[in-house]
Amino acid sequence: MLGPMPAHNAEYHRFSGSQVTQVRRLLIDWYAQSKRPLPWRNANPDENENAYRVWVSEIIDTVIPYFNKWTEAWPTVHALAAADPEAVRSVWSGLGYYSRASRLLEGAIIVVNKFKGVMPRDAETLQKEIPGIGRYTAGAIASIAFNQATPLVDGNVVRVLSRMRALGMDPKSKTAVDLHWSLAADIVDPDQPGDFNQSLMELGATVCTPTNPDCGACPVKEYCRAFEEHTVSTEKAKAALQAPRKMKRKIIDADADDDEPCALCLPVTDIEDCGALLVTRYPVVPKKKAAEEKEVLVPIIELRIPDQPSKFLVMQRPPKGLLANLWDFPHIPTTEELSPLTDFSSDNLLASIPNTSLSKSCLTIKIEKPFEPIKHLFSHIKLTMNIVWLTAQLPDGISELPVNDTATKNCAWWTEEEMEAGAVPVTLKKALKLVTDDRKGGSKTGAQQGTIKKKAKKGANVKDAAQPSISNFFSRK
C-alpha cells in the first residue's frame, strides 16, 4: 500500500538555479564515463551525416540490428531518397509501426529536393518541414548533431524527470506533457546540449529503469525528490517499528498537515501500487484502454502448378491504416453472414475477397484445412485470425494465373521465396508457418479425412466431398 506523498505546493516540482548547475555537471560527467558504444554515436566530421544517422536511430527506435541494416542499405539521405519504396518496406518488415518507414523515405526526398540534401539545423524547421519528425526527434537531431540548446522529452526522460521532481500526475495529460518539456528546457546545458540530452536518455535506459531502478548508482540521486521521499518513508517506518505503540501513529503522520495538497498531483488512492520501492510510483501509470478487438477470416490460397513452386494469393493493404502498403494474405472482416460460426462454403469465402473473381474463375479450389484461431496484438488492436488453407489448380492446358494485374488490383501470386523477400508483416509470417509446419506433419484433421472417405464410398461427387461447410472446422474453446 502506498504511503501519502509529502505535503507540498507546485514549486516542489521545479529545479532551483543551484540545482540546475549541479545536475548539468553531474550528468555530463557521468555520461562521459558510462555511455554505451551505440552505432549512431560514432563521431563523424560530417554534421549532415550525423544528423541523418540520429534521425534514423530515433525513428527506428534504437533497435541496433535494424539500424545497421538500414544504414548499410542507405548510408546517406541522398541514398535513401533514391530508394525503391518496396525495398524500404522490406528492410523495415518486422519492426512494426510501418508508416514510419514511408515517412522516413518521404522526408529524405524532401530534404534532397527542397533543402539540396542538407538537413535543417534547428528544431523548429525540422519539425515543420520534414514529415514524421515530431517535437522529440527534432530536439534530438538539433541538439545532438548541430549543438542547438533545445530540449527533448522521450519515455526515458519522462521517467527521470517524473522521479527527480516527484510528478504525481498522469504523464500523458496535457499539464504533465507541458511540465516535462518546461523542466527539460530549464536544465538543458547551453554548451553541451547533445551530451546532456543523451545523458538524460541514457540514465533512464540504464539506471532509472521502470521497475528496478538502481538508485545507488544514480549520479543525481541527491537531487531526486522520489529518492528523498523513499528514504524518508523508510526511516519513518523503521522509527515506527522501534517506537512504543502510542508513538507509532504520530511518527507516521508527521508533517501530514503542513500545506494544502498540490493541485497538480493525483490523490494516492488513484495511483497504482508500486510495491516496496517508493521511487517507482513515479511516473504515475495511467489506466490502459482495452485494445479494440477485431476478427477476420484469412484464406491462404495455394495455387499448385506442375513442375513449379506453389504460389499464394497476396494482397497489398491500403496506403493508410493498419499495416499500410504491406502485402498480406486477404483479411475478410467477419460479419453475421460470414463468420466461423456461419454455415458457408469455400465459394462464399472466395466471393468475399475484394478485387478478385476467384469464385467465378476456372480454378478448382478445395479446402485443405482450417487452423485454430491465431491472436496477434498490435499497439491498439487485438486481432483474431481464423485461418483456412485452400488449394487451387488450373485446368489442364491452362497456365495463365487468374490474377496478375498488381498495378490496378493490388493482388499478386507469390512463391514462398518471394514472400520471404517481400514487404510482408508478421501476420502473414505467422499464418504461413501454420501451412509449412502442417506440410512437415503431412496430415489433415481427422474429421475432414473421415468425411471425404465416407462420402466417396457412397459414390458422392468427390469435388463436393472436398467442399464441406467451412464452419464445421472451427471450434470455440
Number of alpha helices (DSSP H) and beta strands (DSSP E) in the chain: 19, 8
What is the rounded CA–CA span in Å between residue 233 and residue 207?
A: 22
CB atoms within 10 A of CB 443: 10
Q: DSSP code of 89?
A: H
What is the rounded CA–CA span in Å between residue 264 and residue 209?
A: 24
β-pairing, 381-393 with 292-304?
Answer: parallel
Query: 2 near 253, Cβ under 8 Å?
Result: no
Q: Is 400 strand, coil or helix?
A: coil
Known catalytic residues are 58
What is the rounded CA–CA span in Å between residue 283 and residue 264?
A: 13
Q: Is the dihedral of CA 391, 396, 397, 402 positive or negative?
A: negative
Place of cell 509449412: 436
Secondary structure of 319-380 as H, E, C letters = CCCCCCCCEECCCEECCCCCCCCCCCCHHHHHHCCCCCCHHHCCCEEEEEEECCCEEEECCC
Q: Which of 30, 379, 15, 433 has its CA nearest to residue 187?
A: 15
Largest CA distance in the chain: 98
What is the rounded CA–CA span in Å between residue 212 and residue 283?
A: 13
Report the alpha-carbon angle 404-406-411, nearest 5.
80
First-residue to last-residue Cα distance in the chain: 38
Q: How far is CA 25 from CA 79, 162, 394, 431, 446, in A?
A: 39, 20, 73, 53, 71
What is the rounded CA–CA span in Å between residue 382 and residue 375?
A: 7
Q: Which three cell numbers stand for residue 225?
A: 525528490
Q: DSSP code of 121?
A: S
β-pairing, 381-393 with 411-414?
Answer: unpaired
Stated as kind and residue range, the H or E segment containing 247 is: helix 245-252
What is the rounded CA–CA span in Å between residue 463 and residue 440?
A: 25
Q: Is 274 strand, coil or helix?
A: coil
What is the rounded CA–CA span in Å between residue 139 and residue 153?
A: 8
What is the rounded CA–CA span in Å between residue 40 and residue 230?
A: 36
